[in-house]
Amino acid sequence: MAVVRHIFVSASGEVLPRWREAFPKAVGRRFGEAVSPDSGFVVVWWRLPAGKGVESIADVRTTLAADVPIIVLSDMPGDDEAEACFAAAVRGYGNTHSVPALLKQIADVVAQGGLWIGESLMQRLLRGVAQIPPPAPIAQPAVWDELLTEREREVAQVVAAGASNKEIARELGITERTVKAHVGAVLDKLGVRDRLQLALVVNGHRRN
Amino acid sequence: MAVVRHIFVSASGEVLPRWREAFPKAVGRRFGEAVSPDSGFVVVWWRLPAGKGVESIADVRTTLAADVPIIVLSDMPGDDEAEACFAAAVRGYGNTHSVPALLKQIADVVAQGGLWIGESLMQRLLRGVAQIPPPAPIAQPAVWDELLTEREREVAQVVAAGASNKEIARELGITERTVKAHVGAVLDKLGVRDRLQLALVVNGHRRN
DNA sequence: TTCCTTCCTGTACTTCGGTACAGTAGCCAG
DNA sequence: CTGGCTACTGTACCGAAGTACAGGAAGGAA
C-alpha cells in the first residue's frame, strides 16, 4: 500500500486532534485554499458544518484529479446530506468526530477503491424512497471491541442487552454515576450518540 | 487486521485457481451446503452463474450472522444484477474471473466495512433509475408486527433503526408529539418499557 | 346514527440519559 | 518520580423520552 497523504479541508483550516491522531502528518486547509496535491496518493477530507450545503464539494471535485478521493466528515450526519455528497462523487461520508481508528478504516477502504456509505442510505437508494432514518454508524466487531477497555466492553454489552443505567449499576456492583461515565466513554470512543445506536453497533455484530 | 477466512460458494464447490491464488487457504462450498463459519472473521464469496437470479443470496443471507459479509462474483456482471445483489445486503459485487490482486482489494475493503460497488451502478442509484422491488426481507418473520397497526409498525422500525423522536417526526412528516403517541402505543402493545428494548425485539435479539 | 379504531395533536409533568465540571486511587511505563 | 490510563465517584444541569390528562377528524362496521 502506497503512502497516503491526508488533507483536511475546513472553515478554520485546522486539523482536529482526532484527525491528527489518525493521521499524524495530516495537512489542514481552509475552504477556498488550493488543495491540489503535488505528489503521491492523496485523500481529501472535507469537513461539512451543520446545515451547510454540498455545492462547494462539487466545485472542489472539478478542481481535483479524478483519482483523488473526497471523504466528507459532517458535523451533523444525515442521509439527505450523504446522498448529496455521493452525488457529488464523494467516496466516503462520516462523522466529524469519528474516532481515529474509524477514520483510518474509512481512509483505507476509500484508498483501495471502496465506498464508505451508511447502510441506511444504501437501502434508501435501493428503494428510491426515504424509509429509513439516519444510519447507525457501521463498526465492525474487530473495531468496536478493540477500541474499548475491558470494563467499557462489559458495560457496552449490558447496555446492548437492554439494561438501564440503574440496572447496570446493580449488576456490576458500581454506582450509576460510574455507569454513566463508562457509557459516555463508550459512546465517545465509538462515535455514536446514544445507547440505542450503541446497541445497534454491538448487536449487529454479535452471534446469538 | 485480523485473519480473514474466505469461503467460496458455487455450484461445483471448487475454488478457482485465481481465487486460490488470492486466498491460498480459501474453502469451497457447494450451493446448499452449510456455510456457517465456526470461528473467526469470515467473508463469503458467492459465485453467481450467468442468468441466475439472486433469490438464493437473500436466502443464505438470513442463515448467516450479520457480521458475515457476502461478496458476489458474477459470471456475467451487469448493473441490474448488481443492484439486486446489493438489495439483498451483499457488500461487494465483482467478476468471477477478477485478478487475484483485485479480489484481495475487494476483500480488504469489505472486511473493513466498506462497499465494493461499481461506479455506474452508484450513479444509477443516485439518479433514482432503479426499478427493482424493495429488498428481500432480511429479518425473520416476527410476531411483534402482527400486534401493531401499519403506522405503529412503521414507527417501530424507524425507532429500531436508531432514530430519535425528532428524527422520526421529520422523516414521517408528523409532529414529535405524534411520534411519542405511536411509540407509547407500541411499547404498550409489545409490553416493553423503552425504545432500547423495543429495538431488541424488532431487530430480533429478543422474542416477544 | 353510533361506536370503535386509527391517526394526529396540545399541555403538562417526571424520570432517565447524557454531558460537563471536578476529584481520588491504583497500576505501569519511561 | 512523573505522566498517562483506567476505574471509581460527586455535583449539577439540560434535553430527550415516556406518561397522563385531554381533544378532533376520518373511516368503517353494526
Q: What is the pLDDT of residue A78?
A: 73
Q: CATH for B144-202?
A: 1.10.10.10
| Domain A4-127 of CATH type 3.90.1560.10 | no
Check residues 51 to 80 of chain B and report those whose beta carbon is under 7 Å from nucleic acid strand C: none
Interface test with chain A among B38, B108, B116, B125, by most A beta carbons within 10 Å: B125
In whole numbers, what is the pLDDT of chain B averaged over residues?
77
Statement: residue B182 has pLDDT above 90: yes
Our measurement of CA B95 to C1' D1, in angstroms, reads: 62
Interchain CB distance below 8 Å, A134 and B205: no
Q: What architecture (CATH level 2) is domain A141-203?
A: Orthogonal Bundle (1.10)
Q: What is the pLDDT of residue A131?
A: 34
| Domain B4-126 of CATH type 3.40.50.2300 | yes
Of A86, A141, A162, which has the smallest distance from its Cβ to B67's Cβ?
A: A141
Q: What is the pLDDT of residues B68-88, one digit of tens each?
A: 788 888 877 777 778 778 877
Q: What is the pLDDT of residue B208?
A: 40
**Of the candidates B101, B160, B72, the residue with the CA atom closest to the CA atom of residue A162:** B160
DSSP annotation of A196 reads H
With a cut of 70, list the residues of chain A below it in pLDDT: 1-3, 35-40, 50-53, 66, 120, 127-143, 204-208
Interface test with chain B among A125, A203, A207, by most B beta carbons within 10 Å: A125
Statement: residue B137 has pLDDT above 50: no
Measure the CA–CA gap between A87 and B122, rounded to whole angstroms.
Answer: 9
Q: In what order do the strands lie in the sheet with B70-74?
A: B27-30, B4-10, B41-48, B70-74, B92-95
Contacts of B205 in chain A (CB under 8 A): 203, 208
Q: What is the pLDDT of residues A149-161, one digit of tens each?
A: 889 988 998 898 8
Our measurement of CA B5 to C1' C28, in angstroms, reads: 36
DSSP annotation of A151 reads H
Nearest residue to nucleotide D5 when comparing alpha carbons to its C1'?
A149
Answer whether B117's CB lies under 8 Å from B134's CB.
Answer: no
Q: What is the pLDDT of residue B41?
A: 75
How large is the ipTM? Answer: 0.50
Give the pLDDT band (50/70/90) at residue B165: very high
Q: What is the mean pLDDT of residues B145-158?
A: 87
Q: What is the pLDDT of residue B178?
A: 93
Q: What is the mean pLDDT of residues B135-154?
A: 65
Q: What is the pLDDT of residue A2?
A: 53
Q: What is the pLDDT of residue B128?
A: 53
CB-based contacts of B206, cutoff 8 Å, min separation 6: A162, B197, B200
Q: What is the pLDDT of residue B171?
A: 84
Helix A176-190 with A150-160: angle, nearest 10 deg: 90
The three cell numbers locating residue A192: 455514536
CB-based contacts of B77, cutoff 8 Å, min separation 6: B93, B94, B95, B118
Interchain CB distance below 8 Å, A116 and B114: yes
**Domain locations in chain B as residue ranges:** 4-126, 144-202
Of B180 and A93, the one with more pLDDT: B180
Give the pLDDT band (50/70/90) at residue B136: very low
Closest nucleotide (C1' vs CA) to B173 is: C8
Q: What is the pLDDT of residue B3?
A: 65
Our measurement of CA B191 to C1' C13, in angstroms, reads: 23
Q: What is the pLDDT of residues A101-147, one digit of tens each?
A: 778 878 888 877 788 887 767 777 776 533 333 333 333 444 677 78
Measure the CA–CA gap between A140 and B196, rounded to whole angstroms.
Answer: 21
Question: Over pLDDT 90: what percentage of chain B?
Answer: 12
Q: What is the pLDDT of residue B32?
A: 74
Contacts of B65 in chain A (CB under 8 A): 205, 207
